[in-house]
């Protein structure tokens, strides 16, 4: 059974009180997404082998997200970004907050860029078990040896 997570936007903005259901990709799709992110990260100059040694899947995914959000031409990143958002559904009826509308988010249903960014970070955490911030803070300590227990990532960390 795939993991799911509900996210309610509490920020005071146009998306306030909107509720979304995030659903984990099937394993084969997530693997392919991750591999494409790795290849794009490598093309952008990210140190993918270092990210793999330090953080496993979280490192790989973070390197991919950093490449997608930071160093790639938009045309190369757009398919990955679109695929992430296909994991998001809107729960439009406040009387039934856990019932998503069938299908992906429609254009205009998310009105704030910050909401889209938050949903992407929540999706990353849903798929990897790590937040991007948590991984990056651990990665910043990479002056330690790569074998150091404090730089190893595991789901229980």
Residue 58 lies in a domain: yes
Reported as a single tens digit per residue, the pLDDT across 72-85 is 677 878 898 899 99
Which residues are CB-neighbours of 35 under 8 A, at least 6 positions away? Answer: none
Which domain covers residue 61, as residue numbers?
A: 4-151
Q: Rounded distance, CA 36 to CA 77, Å? A: 10
Mean of the per-residue pLDDT values for the chain? 77
Give, in degrees to the nearest 5, the angle at Cα 141 between 135 and 144: 125
Residue 27 lies in a domain: yes
Reported as a single tens digit per residue, the pLDDT across 28-67 is 898 888 788 777 777 776 566 565 555 555 666 666 566 5
**From the DSSP assignment, how many helices (H) and strands (E) are in the chain?**
5, 3
Q: What domain count does the chain have?
A: 1
> What's the pTM value of the predicted model, to 2 decimals?
0.73
């Amino acid at each position: 059974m795939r993991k799911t997570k509900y996210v309610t936007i509490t920020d005071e903005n146009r998306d306030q009180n909107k509720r979304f259901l995030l659903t984990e990709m099937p394993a084969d799709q997530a693997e392919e997404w991750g591999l494409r992110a790795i290849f794009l990260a490598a093309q952008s100059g990210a140190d993918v082998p270092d990210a793999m040694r330090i953080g496993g899947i979280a490192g790989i995914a973070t390197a991919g997200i950093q490449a997608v959000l930071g160093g790639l031409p938009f045309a190369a990143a757009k398919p990955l970004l679109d695929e992430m958002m296909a994991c998001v559904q809107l729960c439009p009826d406040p009387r039934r907050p856990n019932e998503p509308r069938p299908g992906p988010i429609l254009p205009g249903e998310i009105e704030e860029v910050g909401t889209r960014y938050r949903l992407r970070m929540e999706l990353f955490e849903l798929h990897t078990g790590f937040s991007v911030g948590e991984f990056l803070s651990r990665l910043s300590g990479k002056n330690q040896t790569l074998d150091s227990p404090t730089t190893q990532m595991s789901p229980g960390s």
